[in-house]
Chain A
């Protein structure tokens, strides 16, 4: 029993970051109907900022770790929002609803940004000191307090987003535009502005995921890439554009990775995920909770 609990806890740990990351991606797709291959770069940027700022403020300025982390987290979000703004204003707003065009643009961005990160940050991985040190035992399974906090914070953000999407006016606009853009515009919803907000929210979510991830993994310029592929799998399974779907999908993928990785091996688990996706796309392309295409 202890083993299963441990594996479940692992699932939660892995899953919380996946969910945040996938939420942003699915939101962007849902509202703007674009496949953003550069989503990982927001994630990476946040992690890079956190690791850089932390090493400066802790080692140089000697500020307490938790304080530095808060500063770093905030800075990361700000910088990613700026990048998101630039990228949207100069690029994505011209390719809204154009699948191929947006895909190509995002690929170009991915190359450009990854190259830039490598030059600015270098190839050496850096990890940050534990914000909250120590381990904890939960129902017989152990994990670091850090990771427990990660799960909690991710859950809070996720709930927050869900409330945003389902309870606020902005959320209503986002959902309306995602379901039927023309009808939404007929109702007076400013599509371009809503799309912009949607994009920024998506980027911010990725940034949160990245900033949180930096606390538990060594940071390099390529960490976003592995997440990106898994994130696409998640949002396909959950349904392109569905918030709840992204949450379920994220947890499902984390489950496969955790249990599959244990009972078989990590390589097999990855392969299984891809096969699952192909099967699902053929049998039920809209995923578990997505809208069927007209």
Chain B
């Protein structure tokens, strides 16, 4: 695995490459696929970001949806311009996540998991029962302005890539190290006077704001959103991306998202086989390659490929 600045530069080049592809290729289908890859990568990375403090956060799906619906409302009901509608998404997602985090992050482990799960379902049920939000039919008509139409894929990819790099930057900073310390044993940072619960909330808000922005982009990408798009299953898929790519490094979820999104494109007509495929991959990755692809890479580097890696 490439470490240090080499890897970072490679990623920046790939991102620039993707943006150029979207700008110049002229093939709307492949540009869409690239957007989906980046969107799924964003979902996976924001999920993993909260894993840094040791919590499995199903509510990623909820805030993705909140971001998408905010943009949808801003753009179709309030008639706000494109960029303002997009920016409203992370703002609202961030605010709600701060409140939610403040209430719930006192709990841990399975309890937080189940609360975040219940929250996602509650939010989804609220969408289906609110006629102003289109109820079960969802909302339509989120189109970028005509002048920006051809540039939209590039804009989307730029924003999503910025999210990825931004989260990476935070992880590498001191703040990121503190988060990891909390995951390890939260009593230690507390003993040196850090406000642990405040930091947990901060981590959660950062991740939720990021995924909210991704949700806003998603609204403009698909032009249509509906409550069924934001069930807990979205978070489950994100988790699959993380597990397959590997939790150890931020590039892991990105790799996982890329592979599975592209594989998914070919599995569309397969119906039940698609579920079997995803299921098998998740189980296989968990049991055989617990560190994911990133872990595999590290093992190759360390020459310990044969033999189970430690969990």
Contacts and interface: CB of A to CB of B under 8 A. Distances in A.
Interface of A: 29, 33, 35, 90-91, 94-95, 98-101, 103-105, 107-116, 118-119, 229, 232-233, 236, 240, 267, 270-271, 274-275, 277-278, 281-282, 285, 293
Contacts of A29: 110
B243 interface: yes
B286 interface: yes
7 contacts: A95-B286, A99-B113, A114-B272, A115-B273, A233-B118, A271-B122, A278-B122
Contact of A116 (B103, B236, B276, B287): B276
Contact of A107 (B104, B128, B272, B282): B282
B56 A100 contact: yes
A281 B104 contact: yes
A267 B280 contact: no
A281 B119 CA distance: 11
Contact of B110 (A91, A99, A104, A115): A99
B272 A35 contact: no
Q: State the majority secondary structure of interface residues on B.
A: helix
Given A90-B287, A285-B107, 12 more contacts: A91-B287, A99-B109, A104-B243, A114-B272, A115-B274, A118-B272, A236-B111, A236-B114, A267-B129, A274-B121, A274-B122, A282-B104
A88 B76 CA distance: 50
A267 B122 CA distance: 11
Contacts, number: 120
Nearest to B123: A274
B106 interface: yes
Across the A-B interface, give the 4 residue pairs with the lowest CB-CB distance, nearest first: A112-B279, A111-B279, A108-B282, A115-B275
B64 interface: no
B253 to A, nearest CB: 13
A112 B287 contact: no
Contacts of A281: 104, 107, 111, 114-115, 118
B125 to A, nearest CB: 5
B301 to A, nearest CB: 24
Contact of B276 (A100, A111, A282, A293): A111
Interface string B103-143: 11011111101110111011001101100000000000000
Contacts of A113: 279
A163 to B, nearest CB: 28
Nearest to A33: B110
Contact of B279 (A94, A101, A108, A293): A108
A104 B125 contact: no
Nearest to B273: A115
B278 interface: yes
A95 B280 CA distance: 17
A282 B125 contact: no
Contacts of B202: none
B3 interface: no
B283 interface: yes
A143 B232 CA distance: 36
B311 interface: yes
A188 B104 CA distance: 38
A267 B274 CA distance: 30
Contacts of B290: 101
Contact of B118 (A33, A98, A108, A278): A278
Nearest to A277: B118
A285 B111 contact: yes
A136 to B, nearest CB: 36
Contacts of A278: 104, 115, 118-119, 122
Contacts of A103: 56, 113
Contacts of A33: 110
